[in-house]
Amino acid sequence: MTDHYCVVGKDVTHSPSPAMMNAAFKTLGIDADYRQVSVPEQGFVREFSHLLSSRVKGMNVTIPFKTVVIPLLAGLDAVATRIQAVNTVKMEEDGRYLGHNTDPDGIQEPLRPLTASLDVRNALLIGAGGAARAFCEAMNRMGIIDVSVVIRGSARSRDFVPEMEKAFPRMNFTTAAMDDLRHLNHDLVFNASPMGSDGGPLPQELRRLLPGSKVVFDAVYRPRETNLLAEAKKNGAQVIHGEEMLLWQGMAAFKLWTGKEAPEKEMRRALHAALRGARRRPGGGSRER
């Protein structure tokens, strides 16, 4: 019998995840399929309950549901508990649905080869959503304890740092406003916000910050070459495109669901093909994170 999986978000119409995951199932001969489920915010609880009753084997959860899904689950693993965000749901053998988070893997794995050769000691984080929480987990794993967080004015941003300080007591968090970054200087810059997904200009304060940065990682994957990454390249930084985070978190989710190593080459090929196809379609720039 075919096992069913899906990605759930507010608008995942153009998500490349089905192409990537279905390629993995096909490569390993697993009888399973993976689809998109777009849900309006006010209908999430009802639709999620319907998915659970359908006995779907696993889900990826994306914006804006990574936090609101938590009380609907039977429990969380250690990572999801620590950062209070879920991006992967798995049905256990006893039928319970547990929440996990593979986003830290999506951040850590692309960074691993660069941080092995570069002396990366501190980081600048832009954003305060689920990807930002995953970034803090990844930095904690990597032993990077100094993180500056760019505050963009929302209530969520104001709550973010105290919550991360509680989750990671060994780490040092400082805050800065986007219009006053001149005193900062960081080896690693990570954009966990939607900034750049609409092709808008890079804030001047952030542009002035980039010289001297060693690695710049943008979680936005459409467009592939965001203004942040283009400017970082001009200043000699190593850059990591957002599709790398999407790939590696997906590979970790696949292994969590199936117990099998994800076929990286085939998943990467399918992901790139899906993203190229989306760039040719009108309206193909929706964001999943």
**Domain limits of the chain?**
3-102+249-280, 104-243
Q: Which member of 57, 66, 234, 265 is catalytic? A: 66
CATH topology identical between 3-102+249-280 and 104-243: yes
Q: Catalytic annotation on 66?
A: yes
Instruction: Retrieve residue 68's tokens.
Output: 């609101």
Quick one: DSSP state of residue 43? G
Distance between CA atoms of 190 and 168, rounded to whole angstroms?
A: 18
| 123 beta partners | 147, 188
Is 69 within 8 Å of 59 (Cβ atoms)? no
Distance CA 131, CA 151 (A): 15
- CA–CA distance, 103 with 289 (Å, rounded to integer): 9
Q: Are 241 and 224 in contact (CB under 8 A)?
A: yes
Q: Tell me which residue of 160, 155, 169 sits closest to 131, measured CA to CA.
A: 160
pLDDT in 10s for each residue of the chain, 289 residues:
999 999 999 999 999 999 999 999 999 999 999 999 999 999 999 999 999 999 999 999 998 999 999 999 999 999 999 999 999 999 999 999 999 999 999 999 999 999 888 999 999 999 999 999 999 999 999 999 999 999 776 556 678 999 999 999 999 999 888 888 877 879 999 999 999 998 888 999 899 989 999 999 999 999 999 999 999 999 999 999 999 999 999 999 999 999 999 999 999 999 999 999 866 655 444 445 5
In terms of phi and psi (left: phi > 0; alpha: psi -120 to 50; beta: otherwise), the region of 14 is alpha
Fold of 3-102+249-280: Rossmann fold (3.40.50)
Helix, strand or coil, per DSSP, at residue 13: coil
Question: In the prediction, which pLDDT does 120 show?
Answer: 94
Closest CA to 218 of 237, 201, 241: 241
Indicate the CATH number of 104-243 among 3.90.550.10, 3.40.120.10, 3.40.50.720, 2.60.40.2700.
Answer: 3.40.50.720
Compute the distance between CA of residue 91 and CA of residue 51 in angstroms, rounded to an integer. 11
